[in-house]
Structure 1
Amino acid sequence: MKIAIIGAGPRGIAVADRLVARSEKEKVNVEIKMYDPYPIGGKVWNPMNKLNHSLITNTVVSQVSFFIDDSIENPGPIRQGPSFYEWIQQIAPEYLKGSSVGKTYLDKLDLKENDFAPRGLLGLYQQWFFENIRKQTGKNSSLAYEQTEIKAITPVNQQYKIDFSGTSEKFDFVFMALGYGENKYNDEERTFAEFAKRNKLSYFGPANPSETNLDDIPATQAVIIRGLGLTFFDYMIMLTENRGGKFVQDGEQLKYIASGREPIIFAGSRSGLPLHARGRNQKGPSEEYKPRFFTKNNLKNLKNHTGNLDYNSFFKLFDKEIQYKHYENLIKDPDYSNIIHKRTNRFLRELRRNPASNYEKIAEEYHMPKNQIWNWDRILNSAYKADLHQSFKNWYIKYLDFDIEDASKGNKDAPYAGAYDILRDIRNLIRDIFENQFFLPDDSEKFLTKFNAVNNFLSVGPPLIRIKQLRALVDCHIVNILGPEMKVENDPRNKSFFAKSQRLETINAKSLIEARLPSVDNDLATQPLRLILNKYGWYHKTRYQKNQQQIILNAAQINPKTYQLIDRMGQVVPGIYSAGIPHEGVSWFTTIIPRPGVRTIIYKEAAIISKEIIDEIKKRTET
């Protein structure tokens, strides 16, 4: 049987690995072909992209491995192999010498286990892993890869004809891991783009930063960046360090030495705050926080008589878990441990007995410092609290200093960063709740808006080094952060873009960058394959109805238990499987790199999909 895998990033590679392992063990003949317009590893990790020498991963090297393990249910045959860090130490020095691209990364190997690697180096690890899979093929399997874009899929007599590079080929099964697609502009973006074209300005819409050429932005000229998420930090480095500037250590802080080629950056967002820094890593490759309150049993007990869980009850339990971890860390912190002296046990006992809504009052009674008393409004909306009559730059430096000092204490020990980091460790539990539809539609909508905002702000932040670099750039006025409620408009009178915020500041600039990735929106898709998937009704908005409630998700529908594609009529599309970003909203938090020993979603998907396909092949061949 022939299997096509569309997408050669981490998901495609993981499914290929599991298919080969299962087919060889179960003596089922498969011919697997992978397709992607980019090298193995996909667009994000493309080692041939020079920017991926300087743009870094968001996970430490010791917590990345493409070898499946027994934390996954029914994983198929398990084989041992090096983690990303072990590969860097043991294999990469010789492996990289084997290609011209690899040689350009030989000077990037001086990495410790808690360092963040260049993205291109992780792409090369994935290429090595793919070659390793091919070595596992034998009498029952073959694995090939072609660097090309798939243009269309057409059903033909219980098979699928795939069109690419002016030719086509038929397959019995298809797995798609499409990642972020290319979109046409929405109404607002199109207005900016057309205005820029008429007035010879530079507009950069939502895109992968490493695929964006910023050469048209001149030195010393103002540029507006809208968005302060992970994408912002990529653009920040591209416009500073990648233009010849240098960060140097100056006492306990970084100092930026400008090259003179940098523009002046004015950046902002709705909140006015960057994502929080990831705490300095203190956890082993597979080490996870074990929740005290936010447990499977406690969540199960919160379900009502219909078997559903309401969002408010869910969040209250989460709130208690994260706040308890914060205070537990705080009273162990040498800087604060003398506050309650011998009353530690009594303090923690009171927290355990009370709901999180009482924690602020309890903390005040124990004379906790005000900036260490957990307050959701202050955490999420700090920029709104800054004095309008005082320098926002000075306020921002203090804000970043506090984040840096806290995160430097580590993702286990820091009062705030250590609490934020538990979100990474309880994601599988949260994902199970969401994907098993414990929430009714109204509560699902609250989860996808309110909880996602909290999760992203607290736990998806950049490495600590990026916050230190941002502080240095703010200090020397190369980066200027605008206040909350940032808005951008066209300014026909001055033939420029115009930005303003709640702080009544105004900025005009000839360049505007949207610091975000393309949205998952089938209505805006422009890639030929996605247009075909829309045409057949295979990719469509998902409607979830229950108890007279309804939510419509801008995510393609799959069966979350099997990853089979479900068409517009609610029918399974036989032989087609899909996972990842196009299904965000049906699945949850799909942008993941495989981590060993923690039931990582990418290998959970791969184990299920490969078993589904191999079992279906057996049924077909037996009849």
Structure 2
Amino acid sequence: MSERPTLVVVGAGPRGTGLIERIAANAPELYEGRQLDIHLVDPHPPGGGRIWRREQSPLLWMNSMAEDVTMFTDDTVQQEGPVRPGPALHAWAADVREGRVTVRAEPELLAEIRALGGQDFPSRRLQSAYLGWVYEQAVSTLPQGITVHEHRGRALRVTGPRGGRQRVWLQGRDEPLTADLVVLTIGHLDAEPAPEHVELAEFAERHGLVHLPPDFTADSDLSVLQAGEPVIVRGFGLAFIDLMVLLTEGRGGRYENGAYMPSGEEPVLYVGSRRGVPYHSKIGYGWQGERPPLPRFLGPDRTEELLSRSEPLDFRRDVWPLVDKELGYAHYHRLFTAHAERTTVDWPVFEEKYAAADPDSSELHALIAAAVPDPADRLDLDALDRPLDKVRYPSYDALQQGLRDYITADLDRRHDPAHSEDLAVFLGLLTAYGQLMRLGDIGSWWHGFFSYLASGPPGPRLHQLLALSRAGVVRFLGAGTTVEADEERGIFRAGSATVPGEWIEARALVEARLPEPSLERTRSPILQALYEDGAAATATGLLSVHPDDGRILGRDGRPHPRRFALGPHTTARASGAFTRPRTGGPAFRQNDATARTALTFLRDLLCSGGSERLSA
């Protein structure tokens, strides 16, 4: 073969970094002594990519404690490749502090790294430094003969025959990169506005109003939101938390002794959503004692059974009852083994009957009611999902204290080890997520519920939210929030089911959430081109990939032999490109499978003398 084998990886963020780490780990077994060029394409520096880039406000945090963040595999990851251990974020910071690791960073960021403790919530730019170091380590451990070439730019399209070399066209470059394999690790995507947002934007333009569509908050132009003016905000998740921070502390406000001291530059944020409450606080304590033996009711065998069914799966009918029972098992295992004084029977007795009862049956509910006397100790996922269902307030003023009481109670519970069954449910959510990824596109509800329950803001952020509420900078709208465009009066109006009959008016509306991943509306030119070239998409717009190795599926159902994709825009979307140590890391498993498939393909190509390149 006259040319070196070539792999092009589009996307240099955590997912691309993780793939290169897995290539380095697996190459000694599958590709020893062979040559390979890896071309890494991204407009942003490798490691952090766009979302975790270093050039963003130091006020923006991760929503995980440092001890809960790692980019390295361990023996809980179900993978074929070898474990290559490495430090979690807090251990890496300790290595920097103690001189075992050298990091190139400006003095302010270096001081932040050295001060980081395991239960601190680091800034995103600190995480960028960690990801950059992980990338450098991954590249440095690649065997001799494997070389990474970085391209700071955008990939526009992939062309080439199924049986031959691919061409990856880059913005501003006349000649394409020629590749034997292409892997897309693009991460979160921009999207064209949905029809509703197009109409709202046109309404805003007609009347001189402001409408900010779904976007990455750190990239939004918030200067159009004026001091003292009311702003309606739809969305109460992590995008809202970023918005809250940038419009308060980011405009000169500060916190003193639990109170917020305004700068006078803040708008007034009227925030509402479907649930009407913020995501649950991150749990503020670690695990102690026996872990629940998971998976129990939604393991690989049950997932295979679901996949083997001839009729399409209905998530609520076929899958959710198993998830409900799995999470219930995690909850009650912890309650019975760690807080037995709040139960009436021994765990083995309860476990046997719980396992035998059908999900969501009257038998199961009666068993739980008899064994767990206090309703507050029982797991009710529907109540968790809709905490304001049928709750009504006579006015928005009355709602404010009610929501503050709710948030305070959530903070108290999520930081109290006496309720460690909540942490067990979190572990159950991670386990369930790892199985549900294999089912493909199961709709957006599950991913939203997972984030609401398991991926909420740090506790300190909710304390800040309470302070902002007391200061009148944030006002709560309630659940079932709706927004109207009043054409006659030229104003936005917001109402909710929680305060029926009352409306808030504003000249600005912010959609505080990320764009939905959709091939049909994506602004990624390379994904647009793939879709036009025949790549399959689900009804909700996700790129269809093979669950085993991430190969992109065509509309005929065939996996493309030379094109792969990993990330949230695919049917194998994982909960995150990094995770807490010793929780299985589904994304790590995917990275490993794709790396091994790619290395095996390239090795076999070399062994065949390159005959498979003839159609290039």
TM-score for the superposition, normalised by structure 2: 0.85
Partner of 2:241: 233
User: Aligned equivalents of 2:588 and 2:385: distance in 1?
Assistant: 33
Is 1:531 equivalent to 2:558 in the alignment? Answer: no
1:120-147 CA-partner distances (Å, limit 9, x unpaired): 1111111112222232245311112222
Q: Do the aligned partners of residues 361 and 45 (structure 1) sit closer, same or farther apart at CA in structure 2, a change above 3 Å counting?
A: same
Contact 1:406 1:415 in 2 (8 A): no
1:353-399 CA-partner distances (Å, limit 9, x unpaired): 65554565556557844544444443222223323336111221221
Which deviates the most, 569-578 or 351-360?
351-360
2:54 maps to a residue whose letter is P
1:239-266 CA-partner distances (Å, limit 9, x unpaired): 12222222344xxxx4322222211110
Partner of 2:416: 409
Contact 2:550 2:572 in 1 (8 A): no
For structure 1, which runs of at least 5 residues remain unmatched after alignment?
436-443, 543-551
Q: Pick the aligned partner of 2:400 from 389, 393, 402.
A: 393
User: Aligned equivalents of 1:527 and 1:234: distance in 2?
Assistant: 24
User: Aligned equivalents of 1:83 and 1:107: distance in 2?
Assistant: 16
Report SS of the residue matched to 2:120: coil
1:267-302 CA-partner distances (Å, limit 9, x unpaired): 111221222122113138x99642374353884798
Is 1:18 equivalent to 2:25 in the alignment? Answer: no
User: Aligned equivalents of 2:351 and 2:598: distance in 1?
Assistant: 51
Compute the displacement of 1:580 (Å).
0.9
Partner of 1:517: 514
2:43 maps to a residue whose letter is P
User: Aligned equivalents of 2:452 and 2:105: distance in 1?
Assistant: 39
Partner of 1:166: 173
Q: Do the aligned partners of residues 71 and 120 (structure 1) sit closer, same or farther apart at CA in structure 2, a change above 3 Å counting?
A: same
Q: Do the aligned partners of residues 201 and 95 (structure 1) sit closer, same or farther apart at CA in structure 2, a change above 3 Å counting?
A: farther
Report SS of the residue matched to 1:383: coil
1:149-205 CA-partner distances (Å, limit 9, x unpaired): 112222275332432333332222211111222222121111121222233322211
Is 1:567 equivalent to 2:543 in the alignment? Answer: no
Contact 2:23 2:599 in 1 (8 A): yes
Partner of 2:425: 419
Q: Pick the aligned partner of 1:191 from 199, 207, 224.
A: 199
Compute the displacement of 1:568 (Å).
2.6
Partner of 2:86: 81
User: Aligned equivalents of 1:136 and 1:302: distance in 2?
Assistant: 40
Compute the displacement of 1:561 (Å).
1.1
Is 1:2 equivalent to 2:2 in the alignment? Answer: no
User: Aligned equivalents of 1:202 and 1:108: distance in 2?
Assistant: 38
Compute the displacement of 1:553 (Å).
4.2
User: Aligned equivalents of 2:411 and 2:456: distance in 1?
Assistant: 12
Compute the displacement of 1:571 (Å).
3.1
Q: Do the aligned partners of residues 293 and 332 (structure 1) sit closer, same or farther apart at CA in structure 2, a change above 3 Å counting?
A: closer
User: Aligned equivalents of 1:154 and 1:313: distance in 2?
Assistant: 39
Report SS of the residue matched to 2:389: helix
Q: Do the aligned partners of residues 89 and 477 (structure 1) sit closer, same or farther apart at CA in structure 2, a change above 3 Å counting?
A: same
Which deviates the most, 16-25 or 40-49?
16-25
Q: Pick the aligned partner of 1:205 from 198, 204, 213.
A: 213
Partner of 1:484: 479
Is 1:143 equivalent to 2:148 in the alignment? Answer: yes
User: Aligned equivalents of 1:177 and 1:305: distance in 2?
Assistant: 29
Q: Do the aligned partners of residues 563 and 257 (structure 1) sit closer, same or farther apart at CA in structure 2, a change above 3 Å counting?
A: same
Q: Do the aligned partners of residues 137 and 421 (structure 1) sit closer, same or farther apart at CA in structure 2, a change above 3 Å counting?
A: closer
2:183 maps to a residue whose letter is F
Contact 2:19 2:592 in 1 (8 A): yes
Compute the displacement of 1:93 (Å).
7.6
Q: Do the aligned partners of residues 207 and 95 (structure 1) sit closer, same or farther apart at CA in structure 2, a change above 3 Å counting?
A: farther
RMSD: 3.4
Is 1:281 equivalent to 2:277 in the alignment? Answer: no
User: Aligned equivalents of 1:301 and 1:101: distance in 2?
Assistant: 50
Is 1:499 equivalent to 2:494 in the alignment? Answer: yes
Report SS of the residue matched to 1:85: helix
2:505 maps to a residue whose letter is N
Partner of 1:34: 40
User: Aligned equivalents of 1:573 and 1:362: distance in 2?
Assistant: 50
User: Aligned equivalents of 1:574 and 1:415: distance in 2?
Assistant: 45
Q: Pick the aligned partner of 1:266 from 261, 270, 279.
A: 270
User: Aligned equivalents of 2:196 and 2:300: distance in 1?
Assistant: 46
Contact 2:109 2:126 in 1 (8 A): no
Report SS of the residue matched to 1:385: coil
Compute the displacement of 1:328 (Å).
5.6
Contact 1:303 1:310 in 2 (8 A): no
Report SS of the residue matched to 1:482: strand
Contact 2:336 2:346 in 1 (8 A): no
Compute the displacement of 1:582 (Å).
1.5
Contact 1:406 1:417 in 2 (8 A): no
User: Aligned equivalents of 2:353 and 2:290: distance in 1?
Assistant: 28
Q: Do the aligned partners of residues 295 and 339 (structure 1) sit closer, same or farther apart at CA in structure 2, a change above 3 Å counting?
A: closer
Contact 2:298 2:432 in 1 (8 A): no
1:408 maps to a residue whose letter is H
Is 1:598 equivalent to 2:583 in the alignment? Answer: yes
Q: Do the aligned partners of residues 301 and 22 (structure 1) sit closer, same or farther apart at CA in structure 2, a change above 3 Å counting?
A: closer
Partner of 1:290: 293
User: Aligned equivalents of 1:36 and 1:305: distance in 2?
Assistant: 38
1:394 maps to a residue whose letter is Q
1:56-81 CA-partner distances (Å, limit 9, x unpaired): 22232223222333444555454443
Partner of 1:440: none
Partner of 1:255: 259
Q: Do the aligned partners of residues 389 and 328 (structure 1) sit closer, same or farther apart at CA in structure 2, a change above 3 Å counting?
A: farther
Identity of aligned residues (%): 23
* Aligned pairs (5 A) from 1:541-620: 541-542=537-538, 552-583=539-570, 586-620=571-605
User: Aligned equivalents of 1:107 and 1:453: distance in 2?
Assistant: 32
Contact 1:102 1:124 in 2 (8 A): no
Which deviates the most, 493-502 or 350-359?
350-359
Contact 1:10 1:602 in 2 (8 A): no
User: Aligned equivalents of 1:292 and 1:32: distance in 2?
Assistant: 37
Partner of 1:549: none
Contact 1:225 1:514 in 2 (8 A): yes
Partner of 1:222: 230
Contact 1:277 1:403 in 2 (8 A): yes
Is 1:129 equivalent to 2:134 in the alignment? Answer: yes
Q: Do the aligned partners of residues 162 and 297 (structure 1) sit closer, same or farther apart at CA in structure 2, a change above 3 Å counting?
A: closer
TM-score for the superposition, normalised by structure 1: 0.85
Contact 1:289 1:425 in 2 (8 A): no
Q: Do the aligned partners of residues 348 and 474 (structure 1) sit closer, same or farther apart at CA in structure 2, a change above 3 Å counting?
A: farther
Q: Pick the aligned partner of 1:463 from 458, 475, 478.
A: 458
User: Aligned equivalents of 1:426 and 1:304: distance in 2?
Assistant: 15
